[in-house]
């Protein structure tokens, strides 16, 4: 299954405003919708990772957090 | 330690039409709008040219004996095949754009369509209500049984897109809800839903914190119970930076209670013989997810005219539910997530990662399918305004509204079956007692406050909806 990464222009705008070291540009950050649905059991039952309310959120594999793409931490590692 | 509130005001992201296109059509909401409004546009075009979508919007009719049903299905086999092709192409195109494989979607959807047809037909049996065979509940129970007793292969996910189907159905539902009704009922729905949302969130959050839960988990649980179920929970979890397992716990508790209330709310409403509009408002106030609530509201719609003592028409249940849930609660997801992100950033203990609240996220998280719902209502309302009431009943209702209503029921039946087929109780996270107690406290308060507001405070208002 192919995955599209959504942040795109939005993440670029955020990165230009707050700096490049946001989760959207980090290799620990996973916002692939199908992978999120696999990682969060039940998400696809009465919800979806493909809907608008998720925004550009994803899972940080380093800290095991569910985060907005605009979050930041000292362990940022560019993808 | 409290900090000054610092939020990010973003300039309009640059990236041209391609990015805007990806933002809209990389999401189920965009495709639901495209499919729903596309069908409305085709239906309007056909009516304006003196034709109708009726041939394609085929559905089983009332039957008494099995041979009658067999004859019906045989006589309309070509229409059912055409309807399957229409849905398969429409949803398949969207599914492909979302990144799924069409070859996995088509066989699963074929099964969903055929089983939905059988469930739809069962609901048309003239003894169905006698045996409580309401199609939404039959679809749900059948799906839950198959999923939990035998399992459903992972690759079938492509054809079991609950949110995609329900959003498309809600856009189509807009064609049957006049704009005047939205203007009339919308403010009351927003007021009632606002009261219940704030009370429910407050109870879950306060009980959660009192029981020692992490504030981010308490807030995620609170939004899941107060605003929009799983969508509300994940929007807040992302905004406040909840732990991954806490997000799973919130999702599990929402599903657990949502499934229970699908059965409980119509049952209690029936026992109390609530008018259809009142029951729809209560379900819209107290059910957590759109798909689950529509299953309950449509179940209750089926009692109209069938159960002695229940006043109001069938449409009122689904219309009141939609006003309450979609207009009253769903549209505020982004606001809740943004406010909680600000609170988390400035008032709560820091996480290993910090988020800068982005004002643009209010719009980014907005459930866009609501725009499709409103647009469908505007289109049909404007068209209908050119007809007298008699002409409306003779032309617009049977040639435009009724076929779109039939297509909507199909989309909702796919939804109800898919809920069951994707809900595997074994997979859900073990919540632990403290989150369970906190969420359950909110559910109980929500049920009581929602009942009082729907039946006492605004009872007359909602009862009028069905008359």
Q: How far apart are CA B43 and CA B88, in angstroms?
A: 18
Distance in Å, alpha carbon of B253 to nearest chain A alpha carbon:
10
Q: How far apart are CA B117 and CA B83, in angstroms?
A: 11
Yes or no, beta carbons of B358 and A68 under 8 Å apart: yes
CB-nearest to A42 from B98, B255, B352 is B255
Domain membership flag for residue B11: no
Model pLDDT, residue B18? 58
Task: Count up the domains in chain B and report the number.
Answer: 1
A1 pLDDT above the threshold of 60: no
Yes or no, beta carbons of A55 and B365 under 8 Å apart: yes
pLDDT tens-place string over residues B118-139: 999 999 999 988 888 899 999 9
Q: How far apart are CA B241 and CA A67, in angstroms?
A: 5
Q: Which residues of A touch B216 (CB under 8 A)?
A: none
Give the burial string for B200-219 (b: 16+ CB within 10 Å, else e): bbebbbebbbeeebbbbbbb
Q: Which residues of A touch B341 (CB under 8 A)?
A: 68
A10 pLDDT above the threshold of 90: no
Q: Do the Cβ atoms of B125 and B63 come closer than 8 Å? A: yes
Yes or no, beta carbons of B238 and A66 under 8 Å apart: yes
Q: Which residues of A touch B252 (CB under 8 A)?
A: 41-42
Q: How far apart are CA B221 and CA B205, in angstroms?
A: 7
pTM: 0.92
Model pLDDT, residue A47? 93
CB-nearest to A23 from B228, B235, B353 is B353
Domain membership flag for residue B202: yes
* Containing structural domain, residue B194: 17-465
Domain membership flag for residue B3: no
Could you tell me which chain A residue has the CA closest to the CA of B105?
A: A1
pLDDT tens-place string over residues B278-303: 999 999 999 989 999 999 999 999 99
Alpha helices in B241-385 (DSSP H): 244-271, 276-286, 290-301, 314-322, 333-347, 360-364, 369-384
Distance in Å, alpha carbon of A23 to nearest chain B alpha carbon:
9
A57-A60-A64-A70 Cα dihedral, nearest 10 degrees? -50
Q: Chain B interface, mutation test: which of A45, A57, A69, most B Cβ atoms within 10 Å? A: A45
Q: What's the burial of B65, exposed, middle or buried (CB within 10 Å: 0-12/13-18/19+)?
A: exposed
Q: Chain A interface, mutation test: which of B244, B289, B351, most A Cβ atoms within 10 Å? A: B244
> Containing H/E element for B152?
none
Yes or no, beta carbons of B354 and A72 under 8 Å apart: yes
Sequence ranges of the domains in chain A: 8-67
A48 pLDDT above the threshold of 90: yes
B282-B287-B289-B295 Cα dihedral, nearest 10 degrees? -70
Q: Chain B interface, mutation test: which of A47, A71, A74, most B Cβ atoms within 10 Å? A: A47
Q: Which residues contact B74 (CB under 8 A, 6 or more apart)?
A: none
pLDDT tens-digit profile, chain B (467 residues): 344 445 555 444 444 555 667 777 889 999 999 999 999 999 999 999 999 999 999 999 999 999 999 999 999 999 999 999 999 999 999 999 999 999 999 999 999 999 999 999 999 999 988 888 899 999 999 999 999 999 999 889 999 999 999 999 999 999 999 999 999 999 999 999 999 999 999 999 999 999 999 999 999 999 999 998 999 999 999 999 999 999 999 999 999 999 999 999 999 999 999 999 999 999 999 998 999 999 999 999 999 988 899 999 999 999 999 999 999 999 999 999 999 999 998 989 888 888 888 888 898 899 999 999 999 999 999 999 988 888 888 889 999 999 999 999 999 999 999 999 999 988 887 778 999 999 999 999 999 999 999 999 999 999 998 67
Domain membership flag for residue B7: no
Q: How far apart are CA B353 and CA A69, in angstroms?
A: 11
pLDDT tens-place string over residues B230-284: 999 999 999 999 999 999 999 999 999 999 999 999 999 999 999 999 999 999 9
Model pLDDT, residue B8? 53
Yes or no, beta carbons of B234 and A54 under 8 Å apart: yes
CATH code for position B307: 1.20.1530
Distance in Å, alpha carbon of B141 to nearest chain A alpha carbon:
14
What mean pLDDT comes out for the span A39-55? 92
Q: Which residues of B touch A1 (CB under 8 A)?
A: 99-101
Model pLDDT, residue B23? 72
B320-B322-B327-B330 Cα dihedral, nearest 10 degrees? 130
């Amino acid at each position: 299954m192919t995955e599209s990464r959504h942040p795109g222009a939005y993440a670029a705008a955020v990165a230009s405003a707050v700096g490049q070291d946001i989760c959207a540009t980090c290799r620990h950050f996973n916002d692939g919708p199908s992978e999120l649905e696999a990682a969060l059991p039940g998400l696809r039952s009465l919800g979806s990772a493909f809907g608008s309310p998720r925004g550009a959120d994803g899972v940080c594999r380093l800290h095991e957090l569910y985060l907005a793409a605009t979050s930041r931490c000292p362990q940022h590692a560019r993808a | 330690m409290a900090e000054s509130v610092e939020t990010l005001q973003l300039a309009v992201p640059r990236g041209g039409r391609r990015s805007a296109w990806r933002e809209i059509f990389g999401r189920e909401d965009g495709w639901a709008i495209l499919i729903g409004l596309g069908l409305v546009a085709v239906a309007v075009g056909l009516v304006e040219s003196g034709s109708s979508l009726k041939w394609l919007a085929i559905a089983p009719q009332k039957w008494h004996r099995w041979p009658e049903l067999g004859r019906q299905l045989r006589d309309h086999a070509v229409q059912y095949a055409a309807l399957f092709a229409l849905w398969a192409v429409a949803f398949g195109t969207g599914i492909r754009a979302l990144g799924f494989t069409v070859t996995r979607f088509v066989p699963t959807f074929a099964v969903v369509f055929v089983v939905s047809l059988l469930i739809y037909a069962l609901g048309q049996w003239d003894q169905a209500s006698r045996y409580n065979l309401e199609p939404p509940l039959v679809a749900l129970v059948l799906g839950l049984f198959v999923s939990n007793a035998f399992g459903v292969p992972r690759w079938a996910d492509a054809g079991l897109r609950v949110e995609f189907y329900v959003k498309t159905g809600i856009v189509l539902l807009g064609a049957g809800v006049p704009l005047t009704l939205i203007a009339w009922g919308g403010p009351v729905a927003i007021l009632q839903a606002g009261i219940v949302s704030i009370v429910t969130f407050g109870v879950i959050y306060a009980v959660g914190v009192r029981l020692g839960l992490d504030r981010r988990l308490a807030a995620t649980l609170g939004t899941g119970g107060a605003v929009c179920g799983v969508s509300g929970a994940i929007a807040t979890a992302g905004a406040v930076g909840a732990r991954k397992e806490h997000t799973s716990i919130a999702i599990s508790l929402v599903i657990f209670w949502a499934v229970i209330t699908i059965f409980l709310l119509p049952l209690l409403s029936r026992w109390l013989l609530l008018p259809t509009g009142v029951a729809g408002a209560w379900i819209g106030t107290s059910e957590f997810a759109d798909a689950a609530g529509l299953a309950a509201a449509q179940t209750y719609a089926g009692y109209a005219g069938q159960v002695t003592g229940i006043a109001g028409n069938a449409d009122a249940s689904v219309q009141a539910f939609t006003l309450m849930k979609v207009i009253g609660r769903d549209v505020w997801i982004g606001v809740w997530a943004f406010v909680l992100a600000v609170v988390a950033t400035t008032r709560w203990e820091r996480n290993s990662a910090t988020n800068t609240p982005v004002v643009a996220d209010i719009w980014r998280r907005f459930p866009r399918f609501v725009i499709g719902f409103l647009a469908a209502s505007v289109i049909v309302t404007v068209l209908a305004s050119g007809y007298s009431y008699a002409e409306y009943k003779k032309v617009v209702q049977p040639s435009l509204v009724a076929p779109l209503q039939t297509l909507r029921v199909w989309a909702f039946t796919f939804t109800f079956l898919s809920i069951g087929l994707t809900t595997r109780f074994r997979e859900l996270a073990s919540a632990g007692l403290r989150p369970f107690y906190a969420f359950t406290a909110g559910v109980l308060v929500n049920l009581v406050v929602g009942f009082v507001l729907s039946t006492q405070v605004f009872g007359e208002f909602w009862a009028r909806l069905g008359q």
